[in-house]
Amino acid sequence: MEDLPRPIPNPPVRFMDRLRAFMRAKRLAYRTEDSYCRWIRDFIRYHGMQRPEDLTTRHIDQWLSHLVCDRSVSVSTQKVALNAVVFLYRQFLQLDMDTLQFQRALKGRRLPEVFSHAEATKVLSLMTGPTLLAASLMYGSGLRVMEARDFECATWILSGDR
């Protein structure tokens, strides 16, 4: 399951294992740990598997600009990637960073797509059981998909229908 933290060897020897152990000691959420590790791994691979200690802020600028120019990531995606490498250098490696000067993603205004009341009612009328309950809660209270999924899992466990 993707929500369960990966086991880390004791003592952690490999770089990513040491990084994960450090994040867990800082009590970061597992989703943050997983996201940061993915971005840091991407950063390291982009620079030919060089050790992060040997890379400079110029390398960080190149990678962050690459994300925007070549991979067309959004503003928020670039910010998460930036936060991951800043965490890596400032917190984990305890190295100072010069001022970053990378190509920033452009803010794209995207209007959210929202069901009308009639459309939502029509979709809800096609559902039954826990799915209807979760979807109704999402629609009525603004729950996110993961929150509704967690609620649905809890309902399933409490119902004893395992």
Tens digit of pLDDT for each residue in 89-148? 999 999 988 999 999 988 766 667 788 889 889 999 999 988 888 788 888 888 787 777
Kindly report the three-state secondary structure assignment for every residue of the chain: CCCCCCCCCCCCCCHHHHHHHHHHHCCCCHHHHHHHHHHHHHHHHHCCCCCHHHCCHHHHHHHHHHHHHCCCCCHHHHHHHHHHHHHHHHHHCCCCCCCCCCCCCCCCCCCCCCCCHHHHHHHHHCCCHHHHHHHHHHHHHCCCHHHHHHHHHHHHHHHCCC
Q: Between 129 and 80, whose confidence is greater?
A: 80
pLDDT at position 100 is: 92
Tens digit of pLDDT for each residue in 4-59? 777 787 888 899 999 999 999 999 999 999 999 999 999 999 999 999 999 999 99
pLDDT at position 43 is: 97
**Domains of the chain by start residue, with CATH:** 15-92 (1.10.150.130), 117-159 (no CATH)
Cβ partners under 8 Å of residue 141, min gap 6: none
Look over the chain and give the mean of its residue pLDDT values, rounded to a whole number.
Answer: 87
Cβ partners under 8 Å of residue 36, min gap 6: 23, 28, 83, 84, 87, 88
pLDDT at position 1 is: 43
Q: Supply 153's token pair.
A: 């899992």
Which pTM value belongs to this model?
0.66
